[in-house]
Structure 1
Amino acid sequence: MAISCIKLCLVLLFFLASFTIPLDCFPDIHPKTTVALVVFGDSLFDPGNNDSIKTTTEFQANFPPYGESFFKYPTGRFCDGRVIPDFIAEYAKLNLIPPYLETHNHQLANGINFASGGAGALAETNTGLVIDLKMQLRNFKKVEKQLRMNLGKRGAQRVVSNAVYLFSIGSNDYLSPLTNNSSIFKLYSPQDYVAMVVGNITATFKEIYKKGGRKFGTLNLGPFRLFAET
């Protein structure tokens, strides 16, 4: 079923309060400089990337009732209207952030969205059906390389360092083994498995930091109730 974005308003408003970055805090940035929004994640953030990959309808949102309350047609967003990055872009006076796989303009003028519904921090999560976090990072590096070719090293560095990097990832890593009857929890203790998930997310942050990224935002995972015994 389409997820009503209204239910996310309280979370969104709280996040926006911490997201605002006044330009006068950065005197070296020209007042007209646009800060790009770069998005990584899963179905909470996917604006339609999964429509461009060969996957099952379970991981696509290109049919009604998705999109009906705002776009009036399905856009690939797992929502009846807009997803969280759309609201943040509007608040920041940016255009809708385009999905990476549906745009040929990777200049990061407003930003770019790499998120994929069903994706996790681990490549094993819904493997072959989604764009996992490591692949999303590779796509970001392709964009960064193209920026250096088009803008030069200093110009690309300015865009990358001024951008805000927004993440929503991890939920599917914990849900997928349960819904797919995976034996993963027989191979790893809960502590080791969590460490793997957090480790992959941390490694992604570090890679973007090495490229010059400095502003990061991430959603917490929702509460989980796992089966303690059967």
Structure 2
Amino acid sequence: MIQQTQVIMSAPALHFILFAVFASLFFSARCSNQSRKDVALLILGDSLNDAGTNTYLNTTAGYRADIPPYGETFFLLELDITHHFHHPTGRFFDGRLIVDFIAEYAKLPLIPPYLKIKDDEFMGGANFASGGAVALVEDLKMQLKQLEQLEKKLRKEMGSEKSISMDDYVGMAIGNITSVLQGIYKVGGRKFAMIGIGPIGCVPGMRALTRNGACLGEATTLAKLHNIALTSVLTKLETQLHGFEYSYFDFYTSGSERIQYPSKYGFKDAEIACCGLGPYRANLSCGGQRGAKEYSLCHRPKKYVFFDAYHPTGRANRQFAQLMWNGSLSIIRPRNLKALFKN
């Protein structure tokens, strides 16, 4: 990660925009010429930002989204003037990512995966994000598994039966993010945009783990603790690091509002995923190449908050991106991204 940043440091006046859900990163590098042609967006992170990186990696089907129906509502492949069809691009959504919309608002082209770019094709930036690449882990099941492993390790080292608390676990995640922020600051980063954890306990994949389909309490608690700790760290860094500026997007509140009042935001369903299998379509079988070949697909993804068990639809991503770009200070603070990009 640092090596990638150092390579880009050859650009004169470098500015960084960073997005984080655990370790989802998004950079903006700007040369001395302030025209849009001289702005490059460099994106790092997990599946929320993955524009198809995993398609070029030797990963299992569970970490890839290069199969239909992913990409079906936006990405069009034209064979000739009369033949065209929608196709997957490796994004874990039916349409565009949040960062795709941010690039549009900043008057930049769609940012391609770094591994797809040829030497003479660099334009607008590069996307390094890869599904599964996060500060600690990607999904709660893996978090719990690693938590158990860590607990056994600590018991062995400490010689006691003390269990690690959720506060300690969040502390480790925030510690990793803080180190990344400080590292980027050392190589020239001054502007950071952070996405808080959304209502992960209420995604279809978590609802299926409860008896009555309610939100998973442990995941909800984890999200809230994480966000409180993250905002505290950002406030401290702003006072400790000269020139440090940030925007924090309250993903938890904006996501919760759409889950609780879907019709208010143009959605029909916020509990069931558009694509998947089983209760709440929570089985990650979308596309039929992740173990189970059968899956159910809704007719109108834009009416759903979630496209699969863990990822929002393109329409939901557009709404989140709009809030981040020019939303009020109640949801994106202490400044929105439009203001952050201006300087």
Answer yes or no: same fold by TM over 0.5: yes
Deviations 1:30-65 (A, max 9, x none): 342532222121111100111111111111001010
Residue 214 of structure 1 deviates from its aligned partner by: 1.6
Residue 108 of structure 1 deviates from its aligned partner by: 6.8
In the alignment, what sits opposite 1:221?
197
Amino acid in the other structure paired with 1:183: E
SS at match of 1:199: helix
Q: Distance in 2 between matches of 1:49 and 1:210?
A: 27
In the alignment, what sits opposite 1:46?
50
Unpaired stretches in structure 2, ≥5 consecutive residues: 1-27, 76-85, 155-163, 202-216, 222-343
**Structure ranking higher on relative contact order (CA contacts 8 Å, 6+ apart):** 1
Q: Distance in 1 between matches of 2:54 and 2:96?
A: 16
CA distance 1:214–1:104, change in 2 (3 Å): farther
CA distance 1:35–1:73, change in 2 (3 Å): same
In the alignment, what sits opposite 1:143?
none
1:177 to 112, 124, 143: 143
Q: Distance in 2 between matches of 1:106 and 1:183?
A: 47
CA distance 1:191–1:184, change in 2 (3 Å): farther
Deviations 1:169-203 (A, max 9, x none): xxx2645223x586146353212211111111111
1:58 to 57, 62, 66: 62
Identical columns (%): 49
In the alignment, what sits opposite 1:88?
102
Amino acid in the other structure paired with 1:49: T
| Length-normalised TM-score, structure 2 | 0.40
Query: Within the alignment, does 1:73 sit opposite 2:51 as a pair?
Result: no
CA distance 1:88–1:183, change in 2 (3 Å): same
Unpaired stretches in structure 1, ≥5 consecutive residues: 1-20, 126-171
Computing the radius of gyration from Cα coordinates, the structure with the larger value is 2
Residue 29 of structure 1 deviates from its aligned partner by: 4.3
1:190 to 155, 159, 166: 166
| Length-normalised TM-score, structure 1 | 0.58
Q: Distance in 1 between matches of 2:196 and 2:50?
A: 17
Equivalent positions of 1:88-167 (< 5 A) are: 88-105=102-119, 109-122=123-136, 125=137
In the alignment, what sits opposite 1:36?
40
1:207 to 170, 177, 183: 183
Amino acid in the other structure paired with 2:178: T
Residue 218 of structure 1 deviates from its aligned partner by: 1.8
On the 8 A contact 1:100/1:112 being kept in 2, the answer is yes
Note the aligned Cα RMSD (angstroms).
2.9
On the 8 A contact 1:120/1:173 being kept in 2, the answer is no
Residue 66 of structure 1 deviates from its aligned partner by: 0.2
SS at match of 2:184: helix
On the 8 A contact 1:177/1:184 being kept in 2, the answer is no
SS at match of 2:134: coil
What number of residue pairs does the alignment pair up?
A: 154
CA distance 1:176–1:83, change in 2 (3 Å): same
Q: Distance in 2 between matches of 1:37 and 1:29?
A: 15
Residue 69 of structure 1 deviates from its aligned partner by: 0.5
